[in-house]
Structure 1
Amino acid sequence: MKKLLIAICLFVIGFTAKSQDYVITQLGVSADSTKLNTQAIQKVIDKAHGSGGGTIVIPKGVFLTGALFFKPNTKLRLLEGAVLKGSDNISDYPLIPSRMEGRSLLYYAALINAYYVDSFSITGPGMINGNGNRFWSTFWAYRDSMRKIGKEATNLEIHRPRLLFIWGCNQVHLQNVKLRNSGFWTTHLYQCQNVLIENCDIRSPYRPVPAPSTDGIDIDVCKKVIVRNCYISVNDDAVCIKGGKGPDAHKRSENGVVEDILVENCTFGEAHGTLTIGSESIHARNITLRNCKVENNCPILRLKMRPDTYQTYENITIDNVSGKCGSIINLNPWKQFFNMGGSSEKPYATVRNITISNIKVECKNFGDIEGNPSDSVYNIVFKDINATSEAPILKNKYQDIKAENVIVNGMPLVIK
């Protein structure tokens, strides 16, 4: 026992030594909110890494920066009143190996980047503000110019940075931090395991300038992720399950399953989907959303069925959700940027084992379950639901759909 106590003490001493705080304003970072501090803050991160690790502390104030790269054994803490504000010049975000929209490619760094940084954490109560208005305005202007000449603009043609990109990290913790106004996706996790996101406030606007494709949390080829006690309101999907797209996506090593995801005790404001699987997903399983409130006009569960990608969506549970929404479920073809790439494959999807229960909502329509012609859908159960709806019918073209104690506008649910 004595040896065990000594070992624990030595571990705590060692951990404490490696947990030194590096307050940026004490290490050469200007408090002038108009001065670009990228190099100075990066020097603090590098110093902490070189000294064995530590926490980069952002004190009260506004600190303008481009892309920052966290190293092994470094963390980030933002104190009350602290704001890391992103530059709105894309040249402050280098083009590097990355991951976007289900593909591995060269893309612009995020504001905060952590590649293979185990035990990485970002804690509040301060804010990371992407300052995305210039990127959003440029995106909409470009899209409108393409439409005038009869062309479609993709999301990648206007270069925009994400707010957070965390790649290949285990034991990630995001806590009590405000994430605002990202130029592109807000929080992108790729190939991570054992992630906890709790008590975070994630927002981007619908007005006056909509913030396009600012997904709240994108979970991409990850396992064991918990999102808890968060508020999310963004101009795209709130929590989105990714993993790859294209007719050969299931064969490519950079893609893969997303599994064991829990979203609980969260509140969802405006969004395109509360929990969305797709549009870049090849295999999602063991996904649970429970004990949540919705305050929006979008689906609670949205399944995007790509006809150019093999997909399996299975073991999905939605339980104890209340509030106002657009619909309870939306399972429909998703053909945005459809591309078979010359392949002769004939992709199809399998959706099975979905349970939606204990729902009390006001919605515009109950839902749709209408995938692509070759998709298979099995064992979807609606149970103990009380809803009011302008369109009280579940549109459905599959047989294995069950409704148990589902009341809409005071009457049993009609499935057509």
Structure 2
Amino acid sequence: MQNKLHRSFFSFSIVLVFAFLTNCSAQKGANAILANPWKVKQQIEKSVVVPVFVNKNYSIVDYGAKSGGLINNSEAFKKAIEACAKNGGGKVVIPSGKFLTGPIHLDNNVNLHLEAGAEILFSTKSSDYPLVRTSFEGTELMNHSPLIYAYNKKNVAVTGKGILNGQADNDNWWYWCGAKQYGWAEGRGNQNDPQNRIRLVESGEQNVPVDERIYGEGSYLRPNFIEFFGCTDALIKDVKIINAPFWVIHPMKSTNVTVDGVTVESHGPNNDGCDPEYSKNVIIKNCTFNTGDDCIAIKAGKDGDGRRVAMKSENIIVKDCKMLDGHGGVVMGSEMTGGIKNVFVENCAMDSPNLDRAIRIKSNSRRGGIVENVFVRNIKVGQVKEAVLRINMFYNVYGNQTGNYIPQVKNVILENVKVKNGGKYGVLAQGYKELPIENVLLKNVTIEKVGEAYSIDNVKNIQFINTYINGKKVASPKGL
């Protein structure tokens, strides 16, 4: 029976924290992390290897690069990277100035370093981007190369105080999404043609080999901006990234990834700030996200292709970040078929009239997947539109998304969260009767100016400890 619940308020004993964790800890394999999640988070941090590079510099100018933004310097970038890798690695340096180029492919032990005042302008000619193995919305394919790409590499980085400019706008890349607000008009191609995105999703369902999923020119599937695919020990530090065609930072099947001090300002369609997918041990810290879609969205493949790969995204740490515009601050899904495990979010600030939700988990029964062990603490939220915590297992954006793979969510804990303007709901959660959302805890949470404390369907064991909404202490629902 569905439990449709709305606010009720009374005090609750702290003893329930122990009861909550005891109940959660009965789940196989969950004992250690639920007993002391932040200790586990520290252990994960210590295990992440940050790349170290030989102290050698290779300036692109020495390989023929010309500034000004008019001459394509692809060959100069390629030669500098090849020389750097051949000689044991180091920095490929972009000095102050504007340098136009096509896609940049990194190699082992190479740090692409932008000095202060440097700006890389990426070509807007789709024909400049060759086919590589990549991913589009959670399905692998052969498509246009990401703007910066590393495939099966080790010890790679993009660093420095310069700017990475994808030059996407309503005339370049963005209109491919098929939305008029991003420049699409009748007669212009777009991803929604049945031979494009729809065909790709079907190929994933039919398990077509990835190297036979040929797209690229005429398919209108936009490339990611920075993609580490199958990499180990990768770093993105300090750069500013603007005007992305699609997802901005995309660690894909990678391990030990650090995103530190990066600023993302890009308001195009699907302009997620950072999307770790099938990746393990990822730290995102000291960053600012001002985006056209989710600020951070943790992924794990979509539908049939996600079941083929069957890899989790796990041990994801987000700390000391600032989220401005975006559909969600920290999001899990909707491409989460492989599963997401052990997410830690702390010491972040989220605030914008254009920020829809603070923490969000989304999937559907076509996608499936499990999200477990999400720990959030010390968060300050100025304003959100819809909800502070949103869990939606019926997410639907491309027509009918129902199937036979009911998604799971369990163990979501929010502590020490302060919200000035909570929008419509403190907690808005919708699960399945067959597989309810399990174990949601809000402890030491204060939410002001919110329409309703909570609205939940099919949630098992939700508790409020020392939580105040609109100035009143919230009681845990009975019978759940």
Flag whether TM exceeds 0.5 (same fold): yes
Q: Distance in 1 between matches of 2:397 and 2:475?
A: 30
Task: Specify the alignment match of 2:87 in structure 1.
Answer: 51
Other-structure match for 1:266: 321
Change (3 A) 1:328 1:414: farther
Match of 1:223 in 2: 280
**Counterpart of 2:34?**
none
> Which residue, out of 247, 253, 259, partners 1:197?
259
Query: How far did residue 393 of structure 1 move?
Result: 2.5
Q: Is the 8 A contact 1:331 1:368 kept in 2?
A: yes
Answer yes or no: is 1:377 the counterpart of 2:402. Answer: no
Q: Is 2:148 aligned against 1:93?
A: no
Q: Which residue is 2:472 aligned to?
A: 411
* Alignment partners' CA distance in 2, 1:352 and 1:399: 9
Question: What are the within-5 Å matches in structure 2 for residues 57-136 of structure 1?
Answer: 57-133=93-169, 134-136=172-174
| Alpha-carbon distance, 1:163 to partner | 1.4
CA distance in structure 1 between the partners assigned to 2:295 and 2:122 by the alignment: 21
Q: In structure 2, how many angstroms separate the alpha carbons of the residues matched to 1:152 and 1:100?
A: 15
Q: Are residues 185 and 256 of structure 1, via their aligned partners in 2, closer, same or farther at CA, if it must alter by over 3 Å?
A: same
**What's the % identity of the aligned pairs?**
27
Q: Which has the higher contact order (CA 8 A, sep 6+)?
A: 2
Where does structure 2 lack aligned partners over 5 or more consecutive residues?
1-51, 201-218
1:318 equivalent among 354, 364, 376: 376
**Paired residues for 1:9-408 under 5 Å:** 18-133=54-169, 134-139=172-177, 140-141=179-180, 145=186, 158-205=220-267, 211-247=268-304, 249-250=306-307, 252=308, 254-282=309-337, 283-296=339-352, 297-322=355-380, 323-326=382-385, 327-332=387-392, 333-337=394-398, 346-361=404-419, 362-365=421-424, 366-397=426-457, 398-408=459-469
1:36-93 alpha-carbon deviations (Å, 9 max, x no partner)? 1112211211222223322110000011111111111222100000001111111111
Question: Where does residue 42 of structure 2 map in the other structure?
Answer: none
Provide the rounded CA distance (Å) in 1 between the counterparts of 2:398 and 2:234: 32
Determine the C-alpha separation between the residues in 1 that align with 2:85 and 2:330: 37
Contact kept, 8 Å, 1:307 with 1:372, in 2: the verdict is no
Equivalent AA in structure 2 for residue 135 of structure 1:
W
Distance in 1, Cα, partners of 2:266 & 2:464 = 36
Q: What letter corresponds to residue 288 of structure 2 in structure 1?
A: Y
Q: Please tell me whether the aligned partners of residues 364 and 390 of structure 1 are also in contact (alpha carbons under 8 angstroms).
A: yes
Q: Deviations along 1:228-269, whole A, 9 cap, x unmatched?
A: 11111110111111111215733x1x3410111110011101
User: C-alpha displacement at 1:100, in angstroms?
Assistant: 1.9
Corresponding residue of 1:12? none
Whole-angstrom distance in 2 between the partners of 1:413 and 1:95: 54
SS in 1 for 2:460: coil
SS in 2 for 1:107: strand
Compared with structure 1, are the counterparts of its residues 259 and 169 closer, same or farther at alpha carbon in structure 2 (3 Å cutoff)? same
User: CA offset at residue 340 of structure 1?
Assistant: 7.4
List per-residue Cα deviations over 1:125-167 (Å, max 9, x = no partner). Answer: 1111111112224543476649xxxx88987853323210111
**3-state secondary structure, aligned to 1:106:** strand
Distance apart, 1:35 and its partner CA: 1.0
* AA at the equivalent of 2:84: A
Q: Is the 8 A contact 2:364 2:401 kept in 1?
A: no
Distance 2:310 2:114 in 1: 33
Code of the aligned partner of 1:106: M
Q: CA separation of 1:161/1:399 partners in 2, compared to 1, >3 Å: closer, same or farther?
A: closer
Greater shift in the superposed pair: 123-132 or 399-408: 399-408
Cα distance between partner residues in 2 of 1:235 and 1:373: 33
Write the letter of the residue equivalent to 1:187: I
Contact persistence 2:132–2:142 (CA under 8 A): yes
| RMSD (Å) for aligned C-alpha atoms | 2.4
Do the aligned residues in 2 keep the contact of 1:247 with 1:310 (CA within 8 Å)?
no
Q: Which runs of 5+ in 1 are unaligned?
A: 1-14, 206-210
In the alignment, residue 320 of structure 1 is paired with which amino acid?
N
For 2:397, give the aligned amino acid. Q
Over 3 Å counting, the alpha-carbon distance change for 1:67 and 1:247 in structure 2 is: closer
Structure 1 residues 281, 246: closer, same or farther in 2, change over 3 A?
A: same
Deviation digits for residues 345-381 of structure 1 (CA, Å, limit 9, x no counterpart): 7111221111011111122122310134544211100
SS at match of 1:220: coil
Instruction: Write the distance in 2 (CA, Å) between the matches of 1:99 and 1:164.
Output: 12
Q: 1:40 to 1:174 in 2, by over 3 A?
A: same
Check whether the contact 1:393–1:414 (CA below 8 A) recurs between aligned residues: no
Change (3 A) 1:129 1:255: farther
Q: Quick one: distance in 2 between partners of 1:278 and 1:21?
A: 40
Kept in 1, the 8 Å contact 2:358–2:388? The answer is: yes
Is the alpha carbon distance of 1:328 and 1:152 closer, same or farther for their aligned partners in structure 2, counting shifts above 3 Å? Answer: farther
Q: Secondary structure at the match of 1:307?
A: coil
Shift of 1:98: 1.2
User: Residues 158-195 of structure 1, C-alpha deviation per residue, up to 9 Å, x if partnerless?
Assistant: 33232101111111111111111111110010111111
Number of residue equivalences: 388
- Paired residue for 1:6? none
Partner of 1:8: none
Give the 3 Å change call, closer, same or farther, for CA 152–302 of structure 1 in structure 2. farther
Task: Point out the more displaced range, 42-51 or 66-75.
Answer: 42-51
The amino acid of 2:473's aligned partner reads P
Scaled by the length of structure 2, the TM-score of the pair is 0.76
**SS where residue 448 of structure 2 aligns?**
strand
Structure 2: distance between partners of 1:247 and 1:377: 23
